[in-house]
Structure 1
Amino acid sequence: MPEVGSAEYKELESKPEKAYLKTVNSMLQTLLGVSLIEILSRHASDELYLGERASTEWTSEKDALELCEYFGKAMSEVESNIIERNKDVNLKNRTGPVNVPYTLLLPSSAEGLTGRGIPNSISI
């Protein structure tokens, strides 16, 4: 909000629509922003998700490998639990009036822009 008594404030009082339009990004800036967000939100075909490893050669310690496998199984259980809760009609807060299931914290994802999946790491 502009400071009371400033020229911008007077314009806001006299021509609120014009003052508002000055705060909106141009079409090019908006297009660039949306495009960037979409590109950075896409999942690659070879992406690894939380609880997944490309190989077991990252360590030779048996305990670490067992814990990593246990964590991977726990992530699969979390995903199954979320999917089952999405199917439960008694949990109306799961989908809402538009009937869109909750997917935000599903550990895995398919390739592309899916609205789900927790990558094992990020690279930008």
Structure 2
Amino acid sequence: MEALPEDLIRRGMTVRRDDGELELTIEDYPYANDGLLVWDAIKHWALTYVEHYYPCTADIVDDEELQAWWMEVRTKGHADKQDEPWWPELDDHENLAQALATIMWVTSAHHAAVNFGQYPMAGYIPNRPTLTRRNMPTEMGADDMRAFVEAPEKVLLDTFPSQYQAAIVLAILDLLSSHSSDEEYMGTHEEPSWKQDGAIRQAFEEFKERTREIVEQVDNWNSDPDRKNRHGAGMVPYVLLRPSDGDPTDEKMVMEMGIPNSISI
């Protein structure tokens, strides 16, 4: 489980400048472009929440229930990794907010990015076949290569999953890529307790406003002809990390229905 900035840095997709800001190594990288906007909104919301309920760092350190939870995460949830040096201590606002934001990111936006594009991207079996029923021809096998040259479509169809196998895969992908009818989306669900606390309610309203700004930015990028990885002939607009700016059931396709609050399968 990894925060988005650390994930991008580890994969060489971004570097952290001397001023602390991130600089993408590939400027037109939709997952990173949109994801960092969502990550920043989540992190700011988490930090504001933490600072409100834990005015002093000592309050965090002295919270026995919180510390016991974090110990369980390390020693029970990730027993095989419990002694790794990268585990942070929950001893200040930043570390606690970072831990919470990471959990929120992985179970909401990151999951949306890897899950809801499955059917749109793999529903056309040749685009991402799930298995091959025969070896692809190579120059070492003269007969196989000759058959491929003479009838490439037949060889490919014999290699791809059968119609029966493809139908099963499509049904599963459609199920995995579907949203629940009672889905709760990021930035649209307000806990009753927040309404009783003016500061938290204001912070949540600011979080909602940031998600609306992300929607506008994503739409602008998707209509920008200079962004070749999300606009133009043969390209599908990148909307997997586009928050819902209204009723998700009004959206046109499953990929742009919004980011669920938590993992939804």
Band of TM-score, shorter chain: 0.5 to 0.7
Give the TM-score of the pair, scaled to structure 2: 0.35
- Note if 1:115 corresponds to 2:250: no
Q: How many residues matched?
A: 114
**1: distance between equivalents of 2:157 and 2:235?**
34
- In structure 1, what is the Cα distance between the partners aligned to 2:179 and 2:193? 23
Counterpart of 2:188, as a letter, is: E
Partner amino acid for 1:115?
M
Of structures 1 and 2, the one with the larger relative CO (CA 8 A, separation 6+) is 1
Could you tell me which amino acid in structure 1 is paired with residue 248 of structure 2? A
1:76 touches 1:107 (CA, 8 Å); kept in 2?
yes
- Does the 8 Å CA contact 2:223/2:231 hold for their aligned counterparts? no
Of 188, 201, 219 in structure 2, the residue corresponding to residue 65 of structure 1 is 201
Gaps of 5+ in 2: 1-134, 149-155
Answering whether residue 195 of structure 2 is matched by residue 42 of structure 1, we say: no
2:231 corresponds to which of 82, 92, 95: 95
Structure 1 residue 85: Cα displacement? 2.5
Shift of 1:45: 4.2
Q: In the TM superposition, what is the alpha-carbon distance from 1:77 to its structure 2 partner?
A: 0.3
CA contact (8 A) 1:50 1:118 kept: yes
Q: Find 1:82's aligned residue among 198, 215, 218.
A: 218
When normalised by structure 1's length, the TM-score is 0.64
> Is the contact made by 2:180 and 2:264 (CA closer than 8 Å) also made in structure 1?
no
Distance in structure 1 (CA, Å) of the matches to 2:161 and 2:234? 29
What letter matches 1:85 in structure 2?
Answer: W
Q: Does 1:29 align with 2:165?
A: yes
Q: Which amino acid aligns with 1:121?
A: S
- Deviation of residue 39 (structure 1)? 1.9
Give the structure with the higher percent helix. 2
How far does residue 80 in structure 1 lie from its aligned partner after superposition? 0.7
Instruction: Show structure 1 runs of 5+ residues with no match.
Output: 1-7
